[in-house]
Amino acid sequence: MSSAHPWPGPGLVLLAPAGAQPQVAVCLAQPLGLRPLTLPLSSADDPSLFLAALAQEPPGWLLPLPLDPGADLGVPGCWADALAAWRQPALLLLPAGPAAAGLPRAYRALLELAGVPLLGLVQVGLPWSPEQRRGDGLPWLGCLPLDGGMEDPAAVDPALPLLIRRRWAALQGAQA
């Protein structure tokens, strides 16, 4: 992505129920015009200290959080609370599956209750059924057809990065 279309904020955190996988960041980074970050992180780390350090990173990063955003931490709270306190925009990644609406609803509720600036939800894996996802009533942005560790940025539907950018720009405008 050219510098004529700058990212609407310093960076984006990828969240997933069991932690976001680095290969998803690799796949999304190029189409979004961001650089993937892989920073060592454990459940014993203080999220506020980690997010303070992350704020010092040059803009244009994409971080897959390797931990469940709702899991209890060694300090009071969870990652969702810390992301909300720092007003850190996030994208929620969810696996494909037959009961695909229950988990997304639960995690969206968790993030919404905490106050995380959530851009939307992205399904990772196939099959993708846009009609069924619209029926969920959730802010689905699309699907990453990743399978078996595939890290091909060409597999990303060109509409997905555009939708993500639009959601972030709208979110930034709403916070101003």
In a domain, 85, yes or no: yes
Domain containing 48 equals 11-175
In a domain, 4, yes or no: no
pLDDT (0 to 100) of residue 1: 37
In a domain, 76, yes or no: yes
In a domain, 104, yes or no: yes
In a domain, 2, yes or no: no
Per the DSSP assignment, residues forming a β-bridge with 124 are 95, 144
- Report the CATH number at residue 168: 3.40.50.300
Number of domains in the chain: 1
pLDDT (0 to 100) of residue 4: 38
What's the pTM value of the predicted model, to 2 decimals?
A: 0.90
First to last CA, the chain: 25
In a domain, 1, yes or no: no
Q: How many CB atoms lie within 10 A of CB 46?
A: 12
Q: How many CB atoms lie within 10 A of CB 135?
A: 10
- Tell me which amino acid residue 47 is: P
- DSSP per position, 97-161: -TTTTHHHHHHHHHHHHHT--EEEEEEESS---HHHHHHHTS-EEEEE---TT---GGGS-THHH
pLDDT (0 to 100) of residue 148: 54
- pLDDT, one tens digit for every residue, the chain (176 residues): 333 345 667 899 999 999 999 989 988 998 999 999 988 888 888 898 999 999 999 999 999 999 999 998 877 789 999 999 999 999 999 998 766 578 999 999 999 999 999 999 999 988 888 888 888 889 999 999 876 555 667 678 889 999 999 998 888 877 66
In a domain, 123, yes or no: yes
Please give the distance of CA 40 from its chain centroid, rounded to a whole number. Answer: 18
